Chains A and B, each alone.
Chain A
Amino acid sequence: MTYIAKPKFQHPGLPRNDLGFTHRDYEGKVSTLCAGCGHDSITASIIEACFELSIEPHRVAKISGIGCSSKTPDYFLGNSHGFNSVHGRMPSVLTGANLANRDLIYLGVSGDGDSASIGFGQFAHSIRRGVNMTYIVENNGVYGLTKGQFSATADRGSKSKKGLINSDSPIDLVAIALQLGASFVARSFSGDKTQLVPLIAAAIQHKGAAFIDVISPCVAFNNHAGSTKSFDYVREHNDAVNRLDVISGRDPITVDYAPGTVQLVEQHDGTRIALRKIDADYDPHDRVGAMSFLQKHAARGQIVTGLLYVDPESDDLHSHLDTVEAPLNTLDAVELCPGNAALEKINASLR
């Protein structure tokens, strides 16, 4: 849907990361979303996070479902393979892709219609299985491509652009991800890049099912008074529990933190997350506490953001299945085919 070719010009002074890539190397095609769409900010945050982590762009597989959010993988990491699959079915496609090659980074991008309605089951089961992935829901509470119907994450009592009041209870994907055993759960806001970028970076480095719900206002259909997913509403009700910085293993911690305000979380691959506490009592290792904290704040109309839960000892579906270290898609007939001698033994056992 991109009709405008992006100029390939790169300013020679652009900063480069450890691999020598600039931001431009992590960009994709020109977005075709509405001007001001929250999703484009998330795209920018994904680009920023991948740049900062010095990821080889082609080692990422971007997988999405159907909808505005699911179009965005075309707008970042242009040298990665992308898969705009079937509505609500990103999680299964991603699961299969991950099984085939455990060595790539899997980035699943979905929306609230895609994950909370038609694909609610697949969302749940991919989290349950602990697929090693970063699962981002770009949550705007509305069906944008079909012009403004409520989605299942729309709050009860919120008003549509046409003036309808939503009477159904909302689905809080974060609460559900926690209950289903996601080992990394976060919520952020597309308008808060400083919070979102390190969350995405930490999620990418996390081994296991990392889920991020990003409230992403729809400027065309859900940014009016009476909406609880508008820029103004989210800014006013955002209750961040922490801020985080991702520190790669070899970097010394240079950021100066006031004593007692920082919690270091070491992840499986040796990277560390420095959590700057905003709410002193919030413990991101306490799954049950996180669930209760969320519910209490939701009842007060507050949107809790930040890294809500992380299990530093997490593992993934490949560990559960005890698969070989080599990606399954690299195994050839020599490795996979038992040969005729084995077949003759099988024949003999069937007589």
Chain B
Amino acid sequence: MSVQSPISSVNDFVVRFANVNGSGSASANEMFARSILRHGVPVSPRNVFPSNIQGLPTWYEVRVTEDGHLGARGGVDMMVAMNPQTWDKDIASIEPGGYLFYDSTKPMPASKFRADITVIGVPLTAITNSTYTDPRQRQLFKNIIYLGAMCALLDMDAKLVEQLIGEQYKGKEKLLSSNIHALHLGRDWALQNLKCPIGLRVRKADKVGDRIFIEGNSAAALGAVYGGATVCAWYPITPSSSVADAFTSHCKKLRHDPVTGKAKYAIVQGEDELASIGIVIGASWNGARAFTATSGPGISLMTEFIGLSYFAEIPAVIINVQRAGPSTGMPTRTQQCDIIACAYASHGDTKHVLLLPEDPAEAFEFAAQAFDLAERLQTTIFLMLDLDIGMNHRLSRPLKWDDARHYDRGKVMTAEMLDEPGRDFGRYLDVDGDGIPYRTYPGTHPTKGSFFTRGTSRNRYAIYSEEGPVYADNMQRLVRKFETAQDMVPRPLQANAAKPTKYGVIYFGSTAPAMDEAIGILESRGHQLDRLRIRAFPFHSSVASFIADHDFVYVVEQNRDAQLRSLIVNENGIDPVRLIPILHYDGTPITARFIAGAIGDHQDQLKVTPLRKVKS
């Protein structure tokens, strides 16, 4: 057996913290990630947590990446093993040459370790117990003590960590000083007793810039505030609950009348997802901008109303933070598995607009845009997040708002317009040929413009009708409207390979950072690929032309059934053979290693090695 030399890497490694749920480790771990950011070094943290509040294993992974690769990397260079329940699995997951950090208060048999890793024991419990008597304090400060020790081991600037703690506990001097004390306890012990630093090091860089560190759910909620949402109805479900929580806290800060203190918004926690979407539909019908946030099971429950929204043409915004399905599935694991369910939600012939943001900045922008689109198109707009974007802090370009921007309230006929001579109001009349009719808000005019909204078939004047041609006319107009939507939604973004290539790759959403990183790996292996990131459904015409321009196109997505690929094949009449599915669906975020491996293997198979002429 060869001797494994310890991994040596500056600003490019993965640390994983293995904790017990509910032990207060989350804030210490987050502080670790943030303090590396303060060194000017990008990080990409991910929470791996169970559907549980206390007692089950939870992990927090921090990818330190000066190159700015924000996708999950896979593999662990340093494990902070604080959970005896998962010890064996955690130890096994460390890369050869990696590091193990553990609480050495109780002696462990040698069989519990590995020979090819560096083992770093810190008697955390002993240090904590000799300093603190209160059990709650012991638990909380133990986390800060290991943070201090990590600081020393990774050669981090303790001043930057102190500064961060100072900001967090501003105004709470007692908490501030005790946290700083705990930090130093850990750091000093490590400096005195261990060989510091180890091979993994953090070194100051200038690679963060003006980027912000925010969760996608919070950014989407902020987008809803900026987009003018006044009604939010929701039902708690992981991983979307923090959208409503964030909307609530943003509104508390940003949406109260400065004079009266009254709320310029209404948030209702519904009794279920049916009520939530019902409230959204009722509010939107009545001219307010309204949204709900949910996840897969909620989408299933909402589908009857989504069909009503499509057919009766009522705006609605649904933020779907996707998790692994089907059924209850894996509630705390990520997937992109509701593409088909949302694109075609509800019985009968329906099609819905999907927005597919890649990160918090786009989640913010698309959330705000969703309200314009919903009112312009008078239909449901899905903002498709997933757990990976929604519930993890992600380094993201700063949020921007153009103060000159007005809301597009769509085609709404006012009392003045109704009184114009010769004005003919028919709720479902296609006046402009774009498939989008005019609507009126309830209470607009004493004698004109009222109509009866229904989910049953009706003529252009909203009068009930089961006449075949009348029904077909309406259904065709809805198709026309969906075609209109194509040019309103965010367009796909294309990035071409350095050299002309016959191969392309299509991807979307949270796959983006891993895909960008994978392109580099593939290039180094000699594979050139043009990229197209789809950002919305209906698909822009450039999707079909991108496919036409390449012999083969890989479609990378995080579900089992290649849902986006099916949608492309179905909507654009593409020969399925030309679209090669690259599928990742185990509930962990997709990695560059996975993508590069799967595409690289396929590319290798495509390479034809010419037969050598044999001399006769």
A101 touches B278 (CB 8 A): no
Closest to A349 in B: B212
Given known A-B contacts A93-B285, A337-B401, A343-B401, A324 and B452 have beta carbons under 8 A apart: no
> Across the interface, which residues of A come within 8 angstroms of B407, CB to CB?
332-333, 337
Given contacts A2-B464, A92-B282, contact A85 B442 (CB under 8 A): no
In the complex, the answer to whether B280 meets A96 with C-beta atoms within 8 Å is yes
> Chain A residues with Cβ under 8 A from B442's Cβ?
58, 61, 80-81, 97, 101, 104
Closest CB in chain B relative to A156 CB, distance in Å: 28
Candidate in B260, B261, B308 with the most chain A CB atoms within 10 angstroms: B308
Contact B286 A322 (CB under 8 A): no
- Chain B, 257-284, CB within 8 A of any chain A CB: 257, 260-268, 270-272, 274-284
Known A104-B442, A129-B268, A323-B263; contact A58-B282, beta-carbon cutoff 8 A? no
The answer, yes or no, to whether A339 is at the interface (CB within 8 Å) is yes
Chain A 309-341 against B: per-residue CB contact (8 Å), 1 yes, 0 no? 000000001100111110011011101111110
Contact assessment for A99 and B283 in the assembled complex, using a CB-CB cutoff below 8 Å: yes
Nearest Cβ in chain B — how far from A298, in angstroms?
A: 27
Are A93 and B440 also in contact (CB < 8 A) when A61-B286, A340-B403 are? no
Quick one: given A80-B450, A323-B263, A328-B266, are A100 and B231 in contact (CB under 8 Å)? yes
User: Is A94 interfacial (CB-CB < 8 Å)?
Assistant: yes
B401 and A74 form a contact (CB under 8 A) = no
- Among A59, A80, A346, the one with the most B-chain Cβ atoms within 10 Å of its Cβ is A346
Q: Given A58-B450, A321-B267, A328 and B398 touching (CB < 8 A)?
A: no
B85-93, B221-229, B323-331, B562-570: which one contacts chain A?
B221-229
By DSSP majority rule, is chain B's interface helix, strand, loop, or mixed?
A: loop
* CB <8 Å contact, A325 and B262: yes
CB distance from A340 to the nearest CB of B (A): 4
B264: chain A residues at CB < 8 Å are 323-324, 328, 331, 335-336
Q: B305 contacts the other chain (Cβ, under 8 Å)? A: yes
Q: Hey, which chain B residues are within 8 Å of A92, CB to CB?
A: 233, 270, 274-279, 282
Interface segment out of the listed B147-155, B197-205, B453-461, B479-487: B453-461
Chain B residue nearest in CB terms to A326 = B264
B282–A100 CB distance below 8 A: yes
A63 to B286, CA, bound (A): 11
A340 in contact with B400 (CB, 8 Å) = yes
Provide the bound-state CA to CA distance between A229 and B140, in Å.
65
Closest approach, in angstroms, between the C-beta of B580 and any C-beta of chain A?
A: 39
Chain B contacts for A89, CB-based, 8 A:
274-275, 278, 305
Measured in the bound complex, the distance between the Cα atoms of B272 and A329 in whole Å is 24
Q: Mark A55-85, 1 if CB is under 8 A from B, else 0.
A: 0111101010000000001100011111111
Residues of A within 8 A of B230 (CB): 99-100, 328-329, 331, 336
> Do A328 and B278 contact each other (CB < 8 Å), given the known contacts A340-B400, A346-B399?
no
Q: Are B287 and A121 in contact (CB under 8 A)?
A: no
User: Does A342 make an interface contact (CB < 8 A)?
Assistant: yes
What are 22 contact pairs spanning A and B, CB under 8 A?
A2-B463, A2-B464, A59-B443, A79-B447, A81-B440, A82-B450, A84-B454, A86-B278, A86-B305, A86-B308, A96-B286, A99-B288, A122-B278, A317-B266, A324-B262, A324-B264, A328-B288, A329-B287, A331-B228, A338-B225, A338-B254, A347-B212
A sample of 8 more A-B contacts (CB under 8 A), given A92-B233, A347-B398, is: A74-B464, A78-B450, A84-B454, A85-B281, A96-B278, A97-B442, A122-B271, A338-B255
Residues of B within 8 A of A (CB): 37, 208, 210-214, 222, 225-226, 228, 230-231, 233, 254-255, 257, 260-268, 270-272, 274-288, 290, 304-305, 308, 398-403, 405-407, 440-447, 450-456, 463-464
User: Nearest 7 pairs between A and B by C-beta?
Assistant: A92-B278, A96-B282, A100-B288, A81-B442, A329-B287, A96-B279, A96-B283
